[in-house]
Amino acid sequence: MEKVLIDGKWINSQSTGEFSAANPNTREPSSEGYPMSSWADCDAALEAAANAFLELRSLGSESIALFLETFATKIEEVSTELVDMAHFETGLPKSPRLADVELPRTTNQLRLAANAARNGSWALPTIDTQLNIRSVYAPLGPVVIFGPNNFPFAFGSVSGGDFAAAIAAGNPVIGKANSSHPGTTRILAEQAIKAAELSNVPSAIVQLIYRTSHSDGERMVSDPRVGAIGYTGSRTAGLKLKTAADAVGKPIYLELSSVNPVIILPGANEERMESLVEDYVTSSLMGAGQFCTNPGIVLIPESETGRSFIAAVQEKFDASPGGTLLSAAVEKSLLQSIAFLESNGATRLTTNSKTDDSRFCCPNALLTTTGENFINNPEAMQTEAFGNASLFVTYQSIDQLVEIIDAMEGNLTGCIYSHTGDLDDSSYRRIAPHLAQKVGRLLNDKMPTGVAVSSAMNHGGPYPATGHPGHTAVGIPGTIRRFAMLQCYDNVRQGRLPRLLGDGCPSENTWRLVDGRWTNGDVQPSV
């Protein structure tokens, strides 16, 4: 059985059981066994993290930045091993997906986080010289991260955006590996601990547990030693963790479910239906639809061209083989979600029901329902079918379209396709404010699949897309502040202030708000 990483050492788990990952392309289990940790493992990791947090507080940001940069380099040194293992455990293509896209994205995130840690501007250092009051965002405490199944590197519990942000803020991380790719997470953790040894940071800056019982997971997120939690996964499991964290006031940042509506206005469909069909099919079937921003619902006019659009998508869905799904759990959940939508009035249009029992998969599924049925049963119609399935909702008028949007839950993204001229302008102006209140990212004439690593990006949204509409899981510096607390220093002497709040500016790359003005210079004495 593989060992867990606690306090800088790979040790035998005090486990209550064992599990293995499976190859999605063959359904065959891995030969490697991984432990289900008992509370003893969790308790040891929490204690080590609490001690590491105190050590990190005494270190300068340069050590944290060096750790993140060194970790990025270490990942690149074992890129072939990482890609091979991730391909085996997830079925995702080695190239371009894992090797050429996701792995470079991950190392880029780590280096961006390092730069943010070094200059400190993310912490919004604010100085009022007249009252001698100063404030800054500071580390919160050990962070527990639950990684998802669909991005083993870029959202991984010991490598992804949550990890990079928590570390940059000055917090140690306890990673809970996703059960779909424990081997990939182990390799990443091995490189992280090597980076820690080379960077003068506490060995418990990163720790790894593969799996716990549900009760121990809930106990862990509610432990007094925890500062915050990051979670990406199913709504059911996430809400159980949220209940436990909320009971003791622990901030938990959730990414739960999103159907990412795509709205096609009449003028757009009349103008360029064929290209829209291609854009949509490419976006919805990419990676077998296993993206957080996969366009799961399309709102389209009830018209001849609307029906033609649906028919064209149906044809392409039937003609395309279903992609490999990440795990048996994803396969089961997808089939259940499709059946649930059908039981609530959706009609399945695709006729290709041929399955491939040699791997985890599901035939591409296209369903349709009316705007009226959606309005009358919005909760059921917004069931997330995570994978290669889409629901088309036909609307009779712009008034009904607004009613449908208003009945929607919160989503990560929402997209409006409009005529390239001014034909749809009035309709766009009518619906855009309604959609903007339901999504974290509003797109125009662009499919939502994919999330650019940009400081302006918002990968968040109203519940149930996330647990808090004011935060993002992608984009620095926004991601870092989730794992920090605002601290104020009132009449504190210069030598006792954090480095970001002293009169001397730490560097020319550090921007501070001094008496209402952004500056990268020293505090000037008042005249």
- Going residue by residue through the chain (527 aa), what tens digit of pLDDT does each one get? 999 999 999 999 999 999 999 999 999 999 999 999 999 999 999 999 999 999 999 998 999 999 999 999 999 999 999 999 999 999 999 999 999 999 999 999 999 999 999 999 999 999 999 999 999 999 999 999 999 999 999 999 999 999 999 999 999 999 999 999 999 999 999 999 999 999 999 999 999 999 999 999 999 999 999 999 999 999 999 999 999 999 999 999 999 999 999 999 999 999 999 999 999 999 999 999 999 999 999 999 999 999 999 999 999 999 999 999 999 999 999 999 999 999 999 999 999 877 788 999 999 999 999 999 999 999 999 999 999 999 999 999 999 999 999 999 999 999 999 999 999 999 999 999 999 999 999 999 999 998 999 999 999 999 999 999 999 999 999 999 999 999 999 999 999 999 999 999 999 999 999 999 999 999 987 65
- Catalytic hit among 255, 271, 331, 384: 255
Is 42 annotated as catalytic? no
Catalytic-labelled residue, pool 42, 292, 361, 415 = 292
DSSP state of 121: G
341 with 382, same domain: the answer is yes
Domain match, 433 and 335 both: yes
Residue ranges making up the domain that contains 383: 262-444
Q: In this structure, what DSSP letter does residue 123 have?
A: G
281 and 408 both lie in a single domain: yes
Q: Which of 425, 444, 463 is the last residue of a domain?
A: 444
DSSP H or E segment with residue 124: none
3-state DSSP percent of the chain in helix, strand and coil, to 5: 40, 20, 40
CB of 146 closer than 8 Å to CB of 254? no
Q: Would 467 be classed as within a structural domain? A: no
The count of structural domains within the chain is 2
Distance from C-alpha of 488 to C-alpha of 138, rounded to nearest angstrom: 10
To the query of whether residue 255 is one of the catalytic residues in this protein, the response is yes
288 falls within a domain? yes
Residue that has been written with the tokens 């209402």 in this structure? 516
Domain containing 406 — which CATH number?
Answer: 3.40.309.10
Is 495 among the domain residues? no
- Amino acid found at 223: D
